[in-house]
Amino acid sequence: MADYLSFKNVGVSRTSVWEAHRGRIVEQLVRAEILRCELEFGSPEQRPTVSAVVGSVLLVPGAVFAQHMFLLITEGKSANLRYEAAMLTFGGLGAWLVFEAIFRRQFYLRIVTRERSRKLVFATNSKLVEIREFLVQANREFGLSSEDKLTEKKPNRLPQYNAGSRPSSGDSSASETPSSLGPRG
């Protein structure tokens, strides 16, 4: 048996679970502190709402840059290159943050401890079948149990009735019959 097991950026050993990129560990959690592990699919950002808000704020200078470029082209206004470059940079960063938070989707392992919840993100080209095989092997070799949130059943819904319809049962009273509603006229 090996000392550790890794698959597409995520690694498991007897003492820790980690995410690594290009051979460097970027996030490591001690196994003794882990309360639960959950396989999920969604935004790889740790805090997608914060990233989307900050990205939206940074998009504002990008919009001003677009306006400046329009005026530069149509009216021949002069440009301050440092100012334009800063607006373009902020706009680009904002677009990247919004894209990462809202549009990019990847498989990740959510690790929940007492103090925090972290996402250990699998590589973009990871396939769900391979990830599930990795998690089964991690459980078998290192005792890391995980919950697959992608296959959880949705709660059963109560039966829906059409508006105005009554369940068909023989317990309706005689006062509800059409003849007891009064004269028609």
| pLDDT reported for residue 153 | 54
pLDDT digits (tens, 9 = 90+) for 71-96: 777 777 676 777 778 888 888 899 99
Question: What gap in Å lies between CA 1 and CA 4, rounded to an integer?
Answer: 8
Overall average pLDDT of the 138-142 stretch: 85
Task: Examine the pLDDT at 124 and tell me if it is beyond 70.
Answer: yes
55's enclosing H/E stretch is helix 48-75
First to last CA, the chain: 89
Q: What is the pLDDT of residue 166?
A: 53
Tell me which of 169 and 116 has the higher pLDDT. Answer: 116
C-beta separation of 5 from 15 below 8 A: no
For the segment 128-155, the average pLDDT, to the nearest whole number, is 80
Q: Say what the pLDDT of residue 54 is.
A: 92
Amino acid at 90: F
Asked if the model's pLDDT at residue 27 lies above 50, the reply is: yes
Residue 108 pLDDT more than 60?
yes
For 50, 54, 66, 149, the CA distances from 88, given in Å and listed in that order, are: 21, 16, 9, 40
Do residues 107 and 43 make contact, with C-beta atoms less than 8 angstroms apart?
no
Out of 19-33, 46-60, 134-148, 160-174, least confident range: 160-174
Give me the mean pLDDT over the 7-36 stretch: 86
Rounded distance between C-alpha atoms, residue 105 and residue 124, angstroms: 9
pLDDT attached to residue 167: 52
The candidate with the shortest Cα–Cα distance to 144, out of 43, 18, 41, 24, is 18
Q: Report the pLDDT averaged over residues 137-165.
A: 67
Which carries the bigger pLDDT value, residue 177 or residue 36? 36
Mean pLDDT of the chain: 78
Given this model, what pLDDT does residue 172 score?
47
Tokens of 155: 């709660």
Q: Sheet with 34-42: list strands edge to edge.
A: 117-121, 106-113, 34-42, 147-148
